[in-house]
Structure formats: C-alpha cells, structure tokens
Structure 1
Amino acid sequence: MAAGCSAGSPSDPAPAGSSEAPGAPTSAAAPPASTAPADAARQGAVAAYLGMWEDMAAAAKTSNWQDPRLGQHATATALTNITRGLYADKANGLVTKGQPKNSPKVSSVEPPTDPTKVIVADCGDDSNWQHYRADNGQPANDGPSGRRQINAVVERQGDGAWRVTDFGIHEVGSC
C-alpha cells in the first residue's frame, strides 16, 4: 500500500510543476527521493518476512529442516530457530498442515535515510497451521492456537537482500 501512495504523490506534483516552471519538478522530486530508501526498506522487509513464513510453511509439511528455501528469507538467529524447530518436529514424528496467516506492519526503519534494519510487528494466526502425527495423520494436540503477537528484526544483508535475522512469538491472545 505504501508503494501505491508514494507512486501517486510524484505523479500529482509533476504535471502541476511542469506547467508552472522548470524548477518546480526538481523541488517536488526532492522529498520523494528522501523517503524512497525508507519505502523500499519497508517493502523489502515485509516481503522477506512474509517469504520466511511461506518458506517455513512449505518445509513444515514434511518437517524438512534442511530445505534450501529456508535461507532465502531468514538468516542468523531466525534461521537457526526455524531449522531447530523443524528438526525437533522431524525427530518427534510431526508434520504441519495448513498455512499461517500474517498481517505484518512496519514498526520502525533504522536509520531513516539509508535503512539497514526494519522492525516488523505482526498479529499472526496459526489456527489453520497445526501439527499432526506423520505416522497416522492425527492432530498432535500440542497446545492452543490462535492470534499471537510476533515481532521480527529484518536486516539488509551484504548482498543487498532483506532477511529476517530474529523473531519472537508471544502467547495466544497477545494481539
């Protein structure tokens, strides 16, 4: 959504500026240029965050803790926690069916002028993403499900890609 708003803003001043004076578009273009890195960071971070959950859901169908997709959107502590969780599920004979539902929002962008770190807040819902016994397909009944607060740190990596570096999941009903 932020991209749609920022894309609409430059197109509105440009026609007005071009009809007024040649110098006007330059001054009108300056503010979007200063917010463009922050907008790009927000978009990249949210895409990485959602990608991490999609990758995890795909790998969780078979508890494949070695799935190469897992490192595409997660690294550091986040990747370690995901692979450890999937390894434990595999060892315990569990698979996960369904998909998580996420509603991420950017809490902060640091530093604002050339962001390298974005904090994402989410009220994720795991009601339709549950553990089942791999041997008989029965529900694992491993606790309550529902909406939970999730906080994630997403950082720009040396290759320019945004990846989740850490995340924390709170108890059901925390959002």
Structure 2
Amino acid sequence: MWRQMAKAGETADWQSSKLAKYATGDALGVINRSLYTDHLNGVVSKGAPTNNPQVSSVEPTANPTTVMISDCSDSSNWLKYKDGQLVNDTPGGQRSITAEVKKQQDGTWRVTRFAVEGVGSC
C-alpha cells in the first residue's frame, strides 16, 4: 500500500485505481484525501518510505479474517515538493504505524485502517 501511495504521490494522483488494490474503507479514504490535498496545493512527493511490517495479532486464530500489522517506517527519503522546491526542509524520520488488514469477500486482503504516529515514535 505504501509503495503504491508513494507512486501516486509522484503526480498527486488521488484518483489512482491502483490504490484500491491495497486499501479500502477508512484507509483508502485517508490516502485519497491526502493525495487530493496535495493535488489542490500543487504538491508532489518524491522517494518512498521504507517499511518493515510485522504481524502483531490475528483474529480469529484458527482461520484469520483480520490481521493487525505494526511497523517502524522511515519517511526520511519520502519528501514533498512544490514547483520543484522542497516544501519542508525538515526531513521525516522513523514513525510507528499500526494497520488493520481484513480479508475481503473476494478473498483478497486490504488495509482497512491505519494510524501513523509522529517522527521519533519508534
């Protein structure tokens, strides 16, 4: 999901159909709104975050339909630009991320919601 968001961010493509392959519900809404805001403001992203997701829990344990993921993502190389200029000269950093991933009716798994904490949270 994060790689696809970074790719869509290169042009602030808030309508990218590829995002729905990885996210749905609240998660997709947050991503689309973020990219739409960038689009309105003439902002694009360059680079991508690094991720190291780990499963923190599954429900139910016998035949999971919900998986909770925890991550310590690094956004240092995922920066926003406007008119070719860096928007904020303060680089990102390590951020704690928690995500809920649910099995969909078609058998695929998609992120349904996530929380990204501030820089230095992990």
TM-score (norm 1): 0.68
SS of the residue corresponding to residue 141 of structure 1 reads: coil
Q: Is the 8 A contact 2:79 2:91 kept in 1?
A: no
Matched, 1:145 2:92: yes
1:156 to 103, 108, 111: 103
Q: Is the 8 A contact 2:81 2:87 kept in 1?
A: yes
- Cα offset, 1:142, TM superposition: 7.0
Off by >6 Å, runs of 4+ in structure 1:
none
1:117 to 54, 66, 70: 66
Name 1:60's counterpart in structure 2. 9
Task: Write the distance in 2 (CA, Å) between the matches of 1:144 and 1:55.
Answer: 21
Task: Write the distance in 2 (CA, Å) between the matches of 1:75 and 1:98.
Answer: 24
Identity percentage of aligned residues? 52
Q: Is the 8 A contact 2:96 2:118 kept in 1?
A: yes
SS of the residue corresponding to residue 174 of structure 1 reads: coil
| Higher RCO (CA 8 Å, separation ≥ 6 residues) | 2
Name 1:71's counterpart in structure 2. 20
Q: Is the 8 A contact 2:49 2:75 kept in 1?
A: yes
Task: Write the distance in 2 (CA, Å) between the matches of 1:101 and 1:121.
Answer: 13
Matches within 5 A, 1:4-83: 52-83=1-32
Task: Write the distance in 2 (CA, Å) between the matches of 1:171 and 1:143.
Answer: 13
Q: Is the 8 A contact 2:13 2:35 kept in 1?
A: yes
Task: Write the distance in 2 (CA, Å) between the matches of 1:128 and 1:54.
Answer: 13
- Cα offset, 1:171, TM superposition: 0.5
> How many corresponding residue pairs?
122
Q: Deviations over 1:96-151 (max 9, x none)?
A: 00011001000001100010000000000000000000xx2100007551000000
- Higher strand content, 1 or 2: 2
Task: Write the distance in 1 (CA, Å) between the matches of 2:5 and 2:43.
Answer: 14
Q: Is the 8 A contact 1:144 1:172 kept in 2?
A: no
Q: Residues 89 and 151 (structure 1 numbering): CA distance in 2 closer, same or farther, change over 3 Å?
A: same
Task: Write the distance in 2 (CA, Å) between the matches of 1:167 and 1:142.
Answer: 26
Task: Write the distance in 1 (CA, Å) between the matches of 2:49 and 2:64.
Answer: 28
- Higher helix content, 1 or 2: 1
TM-score (norm 2): 0.97
